[in-house]
Amino acid sequence: MGLDNSNKKIRPSLNMKSIFRCMMEGGYYPTYEKTHILFEIDDNVAVVEYEEGILSVRLFFTIDEEAYDLFLEASNAAMLETFIVKPALMDNMKNIMFSCEMMCDNVREFRKFFPRAIEYLTEALTVHKAEMKRLIIAENVSSAAISATEDTFISSSKRLKPLS
């Protein structure tokens, strides 16, 4: 006994052109490249790639070299907070990429997943910024405390008289 598939709706397959069209309809104003689509999230470069049923939405931003360790710590906090977004170091550790990936086979799934990916990436970026702010404040407070301790030590040692 064969199954009748005549009632099944045929969903348009997903490809870069259909992704680009959906993004235009969504108001993202992307730029179509050969292998990916560029757009912006919160003034950061974002990229959509699609290969073999896997949709990747990635967000890139530059690491402040003076605060490199803080950027790494903040990126780990973002990953732990959002679960689905993974950070990765790029370009000889000068940039960070946040990546959100999902299996996606058709336009309907793309329309469902893409806004979620943007939401997750934006959430990770927000967590990253908040964590960077917290870490910088903590570092400044620590530096100020060390400086105050040194000042106190110097001024108290001036009051000490040498033993005779």
| CATH no. for 16-145 | 3.30.1460.10
Q: Is 103 helix (H, G, I), strand (E, B) or coil?
A: strand
Pair 53, 105: CB distance under 8 Å = yes
pLDDT tens digits, residue range 81-118?
888 899 888 877 788 899 999 999 999 999 999 999 99
Phi, psi of 93, deg, nearest 5 = 65, 35
To which H or E segment does residue 61 belong? strand 54-62
Query: How far, in Å, CA of 109 to CA of 118, rounded?
Result: 14
Pair 102, 117: CB distance under 8 Å = yes
Per-domain boundaries in the chain: 16-145
Decide: pTM greater than 0.85.
no
pLDDT tens digits, residue range 5-61?
555 566 668 999 999 999 999 999 999 998 999 999 888 899 999 998 999 999 998
